[in-house]
Structure 1
Amino acid sequence: MTTHEWTGRDDGPGAGHARWHSVITTTTDRPGVALVGFASDEGVRRNGGRPGAAAGPTEIRRALASLAVHTDVPLLDAGTVTVSGTDLEGGHDALSAQVEELTRAGHTVIVLGGGHETAFGSHRGVRRALGHSPAIINLDAHFDLRVAPAPSSGTPFRQIADLAGEEFRYAVLGISVPNNTRALFDTARELGVRVTTDVELAEMTSAGCEALVGKLLEDAPDVHLSIDLDVLPAAVAPGVSAPAALGVDLARILTLVRAVARSGKLRLVDVVELNPLLDVDGRTARVAARIVEEIVRHRPSD
């Protein structure tokens, strides 16, 4: 596949030299990993954040393009859903339809945001395809459980809770206590959210992180992994709407991501909040690409 995003170094033909740009395609006859972009700033704007995340999907693809491929799983680029003007609701409808179609085809779907409003549209799509709501693990400094007059980047998991009802199963890892109000903590308790703070994660060993994921996925047939890049320290991920004063180090985030991927239960991933306008030397885009690569590489072969 050749577009301006999917270009990069060419060391030679064959699987031994494979890079993302040389193997990704727009069609495949067997299930694999499907990328979908969600070019949206509207949710961040409604939430009072700094716009720019609509350009995130393009920059993540560019950062992925030259990374080596160490799997034979088909890699599919299913295009980008672009929010038109302020019509976030219409964008959510289109994203849900795209995720539903790809999930029914057997793909593991990775959605490249966009603000964290992405998560509602993607979750609704996978829910329609599976017939139930998968368990959610959100790597994030924020709950995103706000109640607001209109959907935004601060509301997606409250929207999912309203949609899923008794099926709602939500764990958020990396919560920054000073950046979430007591009211949000109360809402989380009322909804039965499992919470691990950034400080608690910092004190965990790799084995502890893996055990935490194992416990969270007990009795869960499917999982939706949502990754807000603002969970990382600002020095690692400066290109986000709300950079973290503390954050969770990248090594621990990758340990958590690999544990979810290896579970064999992963059906949907969101990687959100990359804002290229605020990035420094492409650091955040490269981190986002590395996270996607780790997920694909550690996902069990079909």
Structure 2
Amino acid sequence: MLKTDHLADCWQGRVDTEDAELSRRIHQQITYDTLPDDFDGQPVLLGFASDEGVRRNQGRPGAKDGPIAARQALANLACASDAQLYDIGDVCCDTDLETAHQTLSHQVHRLLEQNARPIVLGGGHEVAWGSYSGLRSFLSTQAPNARLGILNFDAHFDLRNPNPKPSSGTPFRQAQQWCEANETPFDYFVCGINPSANTDALFEFAYEHDVQWVEDLDCHWGNISNIQSQLTDWLAPLDALYITVCLDVFPAADAPGVSAPSAVGVPPAFVLKLLQTVQGICEQNETPILLADVAELNPTLDLDGRTAKLAARIAYQLMF
């Protein structure tokens, strides 16, 4: 069951009386009480209130409160008066991450069946396995031969072995295992890898499974055309795309509210520009971005709401 009783408190904000129709904000354009059967391709927010995966990965808990903080930061952002936005509430996890993943997967599948563009708000990056498995479940019924890519902005590969238990460090190893079991290409690209935060074993696994990545020190404006070219080539054979953004990819000064803040990180404007590039390429290639999520927002560790505001700006880019 989804938690929805907090949504009315989240979606509050400023109301501009001057030029009211041209001065709308997201909290004025979002619907969370009466939902349609068909979302007509519009963005639909879904929260994943979990930090169990972070706890299992020996990280700092608090990300379960991330979806609320992200909504509150989104509420006051400017929004076109004709925008149609929806919020269906939160999947909540205590310690039973496996069941929470199943619930998230079901909700993502259902939203895609209802012609929605799900934007999932985390929560730890364990959210990615629930997101991915729901998308795969949907594609298995609608386009079983579709080639799906995962584009991850992250300081970490998150390719740890999920045995004995999955965690925030295992979602893309779980995706690789799904692909291997189903004889499907594992198309995985990571932007922002911190070489000091990933062991040799993770780099070796990434090499062995044809993962593409760009390290954090290479994510600078003088190199952006090379990265854009690399992304263009990687996206070319894909039929659909899943984008996931882990907030620990950003410098600690911009995103202090995460389990593992980055000493270097990738500038937020650089990531936003690459997201714009990818959205443009996908539009040109007619490759749908079926799903996106934003992970690792931990408001208990945040300063002045910096990380929540950045999460909202990323979500805004993904929504529009």
Tell me whether the two structures share a fold, i.e. TM-score over 0.5.
yes
The question of 1:22 aligning with 2:24 is answered: no
Question: For residue 160 of structure 2, what is the aligned residue in structure 1?
Answer: 146
Letter in 2 for 1:159: Q
Describe the shift of the 1:74–1:130 C-alpha distance in structure 2 as closer, same or farther (beyond 3 A): farther
Unaligned runs of 5+ in 2: 1-5
Cα distance in 2, alignment partners of residues 197 and 156 from structure 1: 20
Query: Is the CA contact 1:2–1:21 (under 8 Å) kept in the aligned structure 2?
Result: no
C-alpha change, 1:69 and 1:212, in structure 2 (3 Å) is farther
Cα separation, 2, equivalents of 1:270 and 1:31:
16
Tell me the distance in 2 between the aligned counterparts of 1:207 and 1:288. 25
Are residues 1:107 and 2:130 paired?
no
CA apart distance, 1:296: 2.0
1:50-129 to structure 2, matched below 5 A, reads 50-70=60-80, 72-83=82-93, 85-129=94-138
Q: Per the alignment, do residues 191 and 149 of structure 1 end up closer, same or farther by CA in structure 2, a change over 3 Å counting? A: same
Structure-2 separation of matches of 1:210 and 1:253: 11
Counterpart amino acid of residue 130 in structure 2: G
- 3-state SS of 2:58 partner: coil
Distance in 2 (CA, whole Å) between partners of 1:88 and 1:280 is 28
How far is the alpha carbon of 1:206 from its aligned partner?
Answer: 4.3
Separation in 1 of the partners of 2:224 and 2:11?
34
TM-score (norm 1): 0.93
Range that drifts further, 200-209 or 181-190:
200-209
Structure 1 stretches of 4+ with a deviation exceeding 6 A read: none
How far the C-alpha of 1:105 sits from its partner, in A, is 1.4
How many positions carry a matched residue from both structures? 296
Q: Does 1:268 align with 2:259?
A: no
Q: Is the 8 A contact 2:48 2:90 kept in 1?
A: yes
Residue in 1 aligned with 2:8? 3
Match of 2:171 among 138, 152, 156: 156
Secondary structure in structure 2 of the residue aligned to 1:67: coil
Asked whether the equivalents of residues 240 and 279 of structure 1 are also in contact (C-alpha less than 8 Å), the reply is yes
Query: What is the root-mean-square deviation in Å for CA atoms of aligned residues?
Result: 1.7
- Secondary structure of 2:8's counterpart equals coil
3-state secondary structure, aligned to 2:172 = helix
Cα offset for 1:15? 4.4
Cα displacement (A) at 1:210: 3.2
**Do residues 230 (structure 1) and 248 (structure 2) align?**
yes
Inter-partner Cα distance in structure 2 for 1:2 and 1:246: 35
Q: Which runs of 5+ in 1 are unaligned?
A: 298-302
Letter in 2 for 1:100: H
